[in-house]
Amino acid sequence: MSDLGTRIVAGDQRAAARAMRNVDDRMPGYLDLLKEIFPSTGRAFVVGVTGNPGAGKSTLTDRLIERYRAGGRKVGVICVDPSSPYTGGAILGDRIRMTRHATDAGVFIRSVATRGHLGGLSRSARDMVRVLDAYGCDVVIVETVGVGQDELEITRTAHSTLVVMAPGMGDEVQAIKAGILETADVFAVNKADRDGADSTMRDLELMIALGTETMVASGKHRAHVVHGGAKIDALPVAAASTHEQWVPPIAKCVATKGEGIAELVEALDRHKSWLDGTQAGRARRHLRLAEELRESLRETLIEAATHALGSEIDRAVDDVEQKTIDPYTATEQLLTAFRRR
């Protein structure tokens, strides 16, 4: 193993910081490093945090760090920095909300820029999670910018997806539209100190119950349905791990005061047990890996083809524009030319 790899696995924070930069910037040799450290990964529990800007993701993440640290767990955090001028204000906010952990050697916080990644952000985030995993983090939290499609993709690199909502923002409706319900493993209704938190809780419970029944009706899951909402106290550990179907629990929180955080951590831990301890959970992990490998293959193939064919692709575009060839035949010819290389 390289010196850098050895130091990461030994828990050297500066080595980890350097590796994170190399991986994020895809510096020469970053793939070799990822290959080296891969055998030392697989221990960290990865939590994706998503939800609309302002819902309280960063404040909640700060509280999660605090809670995990109190339990002696080593924590890594990756914040996805929005580079867009529209959301630019959030960058500073994220850092400020977590600065009190900056001097704790058991906490590693790093931002990733969305700019320039062009859809490769989920891969970048996943690779950086692996570095933190090899470095010895017990938990890695990935905080996204919002609830767009890219964000959902990033949380897909996590074991557990935590969706944060705040009352009075219409988050419930947006969640349905964005397909959040299918990806959420745990919900947090944050800002419970504000009006409307209870009605947000009820709406969410109803949505979850309906979603569960729909899944069962359509035969997507062989499952025992847990009726009557999915409040944390309604789903003890044993129930979650013996039932094949996971019903996302809802934690009611006031992140600014640290309320509901213990319940939230407990819900996440229960989801981890479900992933580890049930057939369905293991199948999901397997599916994620299958997705990653296909994505990686697609990316590698397209890079190789673009490199090998070079200007031939541009010529083909011109030909299609001139209608001297159709795009289907052009693609076939490019593929044939690539295979001959």
Ligand X SMILES: Nc1nc2c(ncn2[C@@H]2O[C@H](COP(=O)(O)OP(=O)(O)O)[C@@H](O)[C@H]2O)c(=O)[nH]1
Which of 22, 50, 52, 58 lies at the binding interface for Mg ion (CB under 5 A)? Answer: 58
**Beta carbon nearer to Mg ion, 146 or 281:** 146
Min dist. Cβ of residue 89 to ligand X (A): 9
Q: State which amino acid sits at residue 46.
A: V
Q: What distance, in Å, lies between the first and last C-alpha atoms of the chain?
A: 33
How many chain residues touch ligand X (CB under 6 A)?
A: 18
Residue 322 and residue 185: Cα distance in Å, rounded?
51
Interhelix angle for 121-135 vs 13-24, to 10°? 160
Residue 165 and residue 279: Cα distance in Å, rounded?
30
Window 21-60: contact mask with ligand X (x via CB under 6 A): ------------------------------x-xxxxxxx-
Min dist. Cβ of residue 232 to ligand X (A): 17
Residue 323 and residue 219: Cα distance in Å, rounded?
47
337 alpha-carbon distance from chain centroid: 38
3-state DSSP call for residue 112?
strand
3-state DSSP call for residue 308?
helix
**Beta carbon nearer to Mg ion, 61 or 124:** 61
Residue 328 and residue 331: Cα distance in Å, rounded?
5
Residue 61 as a binder of Mg ion (CB under 5 A): the answer is no
> What does 254 interact with, of Mg ion, ligand X, none (CB < 5 to 8 A by kind)?
ligand X
From 10-18, 230-238, 250-258, 270-278, give the range in contact with ligand X by CB under 6 A: 250-258
* Contact footprint for Mg ion (CB under 5 A): 57-58, 94
* Contact footprint for ligand X (CB under 6 A): 51, 53-59, 90, 93, 97, 190-191, 193-194, 254-256
